[in-house]
Structures are given as C-alpha cells and as structure tokens.
Amino acid sequence: MLFLDEPTTGLDPRSRLGMWDVISELVAAGSTLLLTTQYLEEADHLASRIAVIDHGKVIALGTSDDLKNQVGGERLELTVSTPADIDSARSALSSLASGEISVDEPARRLTVPVTGGASALMESLRRLDAEAVKVLDVGLRRPSLDDVFLTLTGHAAEEEKAS
C-alpha cells in the first residue's frame, strides 16, 4: 500500500499528467494507493473509490459515478447568439426546467436544470429552433465532483479555510 498526500500540488500541467501516468501504472500493476487531493478532477480521473470528508468525517463514499448520481443535477448549458435570444430561450425552456434557470447575461449563457438526459436535450433543441433562437453552443452536463462536494458539504473548500 502506498500513501500519496497531494502528490501533484505545485506541479506544472505536464508534470501533473506525468504523475497521473505513474499513479495509473502503479494501480494497473496491482498496487493499492491511498491518495489525498484537493483537486477533485484528479480524484475523478484516478480514483476507483472516493471518500468525501468534511470536518474530519467521511460524509460520502463511492465511485465517482455513484457520488454524482447521489446528488443528481443534470443541466443543459447553452450559449445564444444575441442578448435578445436570452429571453426567448428562457421562455422556450422554462417548462422543461426542473429548477431555476440561471443566466449569465454578459456571456449570453443559460444553465437549465433538467431530467431525462438526451431526450431533454433533443426537446430543448426542437423548442429553441421553433422560436428561432440561434444557439452558438449547447451541451448536457452531469454534475462534477466539485458539484458533489458543494452539495454534500454546503460550502466551498475555500470557505472552510477562511473560517
């Protein structure tokens, strides 16, 4: 068993990826590793099981997919062509939303919580097309491990350090 305490902290991106390769090779060779990291993307990429710890206690344990499914929260993210398209898109998608639609007006980006995966994406595109909303970018996103951490703990890691 090998314990690695934040092995990529302070590394440049190339060295970080090199370390990821070394870790993956060790696991493939049958080694057991316990990895601590503040980089949730790293945990998502490397770990077969993840423990979320808050105030020194394990509050969730499972695979990355298990944890993401536990908090739910698929969302449609889209960027529209013009500021005028924002209201049209919000109106077209409001009945599909499973929660509040958030809008970043300067970026012309809408985030729409949905259920139903790809079928919700397809229905969204049909509705936007029917309203002649020009979409520059669209995607269906699952929660990230950052989303999992924030949902389960109720705060960002940075907030914890400040208190």
Res 152 pLDDT > 60: yes
What pLDDT, on the 0 to 100 scale, is given for residue 73? 78
Which residues make beta-bridge pairs with 113? 75
Average pLDDT of the residues in 105-109: 97
Q: What token pair was written down for 110?
A: 């809408």
Q: What token pair was written down for 101?
A: 């639609």
Other CB atoms within a 10 A radius of the CB of residue 66 amount to: 13
User: Which CATH class, in words, describes the domain spanning 2-69+145-162?
Assistant: alpha beta
Other CB atoms within a 10 A radius of the CB of residue 125 amount to: 15
Please write the tens of the pLDDT for every residue from 5-63: 999 999 999 999 999 999 999 999 999 999 999 999 999 999 999 999 999 999 999 99
Alpha carbon distances (Å) from 27 to 31, 47, 145:
5, 10, 21
The domains of the chain are located at 2-69+145-162, 73-141
The span from the CA of 52 to the CA of 40, in Å, is 10
Q: Taking a C-beta distance cutoff of 8 angstroms, is the pair 86, 108 a contact?
A: yes
Res 72 pLDDT > 80: no
CATH number of 73-141: 3.30.70.100
Report percent pLDDT > 70 for the chain. Answer: 95
Q: Where are the beta strands (DSSP E) in 32-104?
A: 33-36, 50-54, 57-62, 75-80, 102-104
